[in-house]
Structure 1
Amino acid sequence: METPTELSEAMDSLSKNNEWGRATEMPEDLLAPDDWRLKAILSYRKQTIENEGAKLERAGQRVKQYLIDNDVVNPYAQAYILRKIGLKQAWILKLTKLGKSDYYNHIAVLFRSKKRYGNKDILDVEMLLKYSNLNYLLEEKKWQIRLRVHGER
């Protein structure tokens, strides 16, 4: 994301006028609530947070589509792959639409002895999936994966 010119001007103005204060002080502490520079900084922060959320949602959609494109349409198989790679449980439930009890009874129970819990974020898993062999990931469990007939979509 490109830095907005208004934000750059606000930051330059603070630097030029030597209004930054100490390293621990926030712009909210230094500037008046109606100061244009504070408004520019807060607007940029808000936009950054909104963009981050949208980026994560798009990554989740791409992961789901990647699994479908590679003929992994069974939600339990999808959950198994995502858990094996290390995706956080909340994302697995969101992408596979499995309920918590289904996930615990069919997927989580398979990983209890591992003592490793999923801690990777969706952006990390998206990259790992692109370089993983899905058949290898499913090898331990013989999942029923619906294979598409040639030409069917």
Structure 2
Amino acid sequence: MKQIKFNQAYVRIFTLITLCLTASNFTTKFGLDSYAIYLNDQLILQQMVNQPLNLRVLPLKDAKESDQLYIKYTHCTIKGGAGTNRSISLQDEKGNTLKRWTFADASGSDLTMKIAVKELLEVEKNHANQELSLHYTARELPKGEMLSMLRL
């Protein structure tokens, strides 16, 4: 019987290729979650989740009770972008949830979640001397993401 001798360099290359292909099956999809917040039709905040927290302040001082806040959160790893079991919560500086809004799963291209500014102002009246913040949660993001601080 003939014995086949493999060159050590070929064995190393084959091992390297095999490891690379195996590792690529475990990597996550590249990209970042992002969101945009509108006051009525005007964009007031647009962020990627890796930007510093100190930039995330909603200027709502001039907002009227009749105004609407529209929040569009896009997940980078989901086809269509929208999460499921979505909610927005208003929290105080200690992390206590003061109010929670839940939203139906998005259908089609409309990913927006709508909150009446009147509801934000009502909560703010009862917690006037506290810093309030908006937080997003979804089945795909159970720990949540702070969207912004509020300036009412």
TM-score range, shorter-chain basis?
A: under 0.3
TM-score normalised by L of structure 2: 0.27
TM-score normalised by L of structure 1: 0.27
- Larger strand proportion of the pair: 2
- Larger helix proportion of the pair: 1
